[in-house]
């Protein structure tokens, strides 16, 4: 059972850059997308051919939008996480699937990037927006995981969390000690949502001591060529599902021109459940 997540940074642009070729080559059974950035009627049909497509576009034209694509139809789909403030933004979508012997509840998340905490009032407002989202979303994750367990389902939340958790998760950690995405309160929050008994960082479990594997590189300069990246895209799985992960990492493009997004897909192969 192959499951992937990718921030496409605009599905129409990603299709032009080769998203369909990646999809055909890797053949994931389930995919979470973030930053789809298109009304439902303008999502290219070829981006979901062969899949059941669930989408929460939100109400911000040209921004955000999260989706789930699966080989099997969803049993239930839930938009948002019960927040009047954040649900209209199109940042979280959850669905139940029966796939490869597993009963799953799966979320696709695009957590706000935020702005510099010590910069202009506009940037500070963006940062406070991110912190407020995190505060609101954390108790929901616990609730969703327990609700999935009560229904006999494993829980998996994937997506762009816009936070690098430890020094292993970004190349230039010294230079980014005061950068949004690696601030102490952000890292503490990301640590607080995971543990061996709740949610497991699947790729880190598979690569416990590795730098990266990074999933985002700036379009600017030589960040990609020099592999000066960040690991900010994750699979967080309930323990039994995490233990079934066999291989996983990022599908880093062979070259800068071959990139389908500024993010690379994070792909994990889980053992089928008999």
Catalytic (active site) residue 160: yes
Listing DSSP states for 209-264 in one string gives TSS----B--SSTTTTTTT--B--EEEEE-HHHHHTEEEEEE---SSGGG-SSSB-
- Residue tagged active-site, from 21, 118, 160, 201: 160
217 to each of 14, 128, 214, 256, how far by Cα in Å? 15, 24, 8, 10
CB neighbours (10 Å) of residue 252?
Answer: 18
Question: Of the given ranges (49-63, 128-142, 180-194, 227-241), which has the lowest mean pLDDT?
Answer: 49-63
- pLDDT at residue 118 tops 70: no
Segments making up each domain of the chain, as ranges: 2-270
Could you check whether the bond before residue 213 is cis, i.e. omega within 30 degrees of 0? yes
Q: Which positions ≥6 away from 154 have C-beta within 8 Å?
A: 102, 103, 104, 105, 148, 237, 238, 240, 241
Edge-first strand order for the sheet with 66-70 is 52-56, 66-70, 30-34, 2-7, 266-270, 245-250
pTM beyond 0.75:
yes
- pLDDT at residue 128 tops 90: yes
Return mean pLDDT, the chain.
96
pLDDT of amino acid 60:
80
> Per the structure block, which two tokens stand in for 202?
């699947």
Which superfamily does 2-270 belong to?
Endonuclease/exonuclease/phosphatase (3.60.10.10)
State how far Cα 257 lies from the chain centre.
23
**In which band, very low, low, confident or very high, does the pLDDT at 117 lie, cut at 50, 70 and 90?**
low
pLDDT of amino acid 119:
72
Q: What is the pLDDT of residues 157-169, one digit of tens each?
A: 999 999 999 999 9
**In which band, very low, low, confident or very high, does the pLDDT at 218 lie, cut at 50, 70 and 90?**
very high
pLDDT of amino acid 114:
87
Enumerate the β-bridge partners of residue 102.
99
């Amino acid at each position: 059972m192959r499951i992937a997540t990718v921030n496409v940074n605009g599905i129409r642009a990603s299709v032009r850059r080769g998203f369909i070729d990646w999809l055909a080559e890797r053949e994931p059974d389930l995919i979470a997308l973030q930053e789809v950035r298109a009304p439902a009627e303008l999502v290219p049909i070829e981006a979901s051919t062969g899949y059941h497509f669930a989408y929460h576009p939100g109400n911000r034209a040209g921004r955000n939008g999260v989706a789930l694509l699966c080989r099997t139809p969803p049993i239930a789909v839930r938009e948002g996480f019960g927040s009047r403030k954040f649900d209209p933004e199109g940042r979280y979508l959850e669905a139940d699937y029966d796939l490869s012997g597993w009963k799953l509840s799966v979320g696709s998340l695009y957590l706000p990037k935020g702005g510099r905490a010590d910069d202009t009032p506009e940037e500070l407002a963006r940062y406070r927006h991110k912190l407020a989202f995190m505060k609101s979303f954390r108790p929901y994750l616990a609730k969703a995981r327990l609700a999935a367990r009560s229904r006999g389902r494993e829980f998996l939340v994937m997506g762009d969390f816009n936070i690098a958790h430890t020094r292993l998760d970004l190349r230039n950690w010294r230079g980014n000690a005061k950068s949004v995405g690696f601030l102490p309160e952000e890292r503490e929050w990301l640590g607080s949502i995971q543990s061996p008994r709740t949610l497991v960082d699947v790729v880190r479990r598979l690569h416990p001591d590795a730098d990266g594997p990074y999933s985002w590189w700036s379009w600017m300069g030589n960040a990609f060529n020099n592999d000066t990246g960040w690991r900010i895209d994750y699979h967080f799985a309930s323990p039994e599902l995490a233990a079934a992960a066999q291989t996983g990492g990022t599908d880093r493009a062979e070259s800068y021109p071959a990139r389908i997004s500024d993010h690379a897909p994070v792909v994990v192969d889980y053992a089928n459940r008999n």
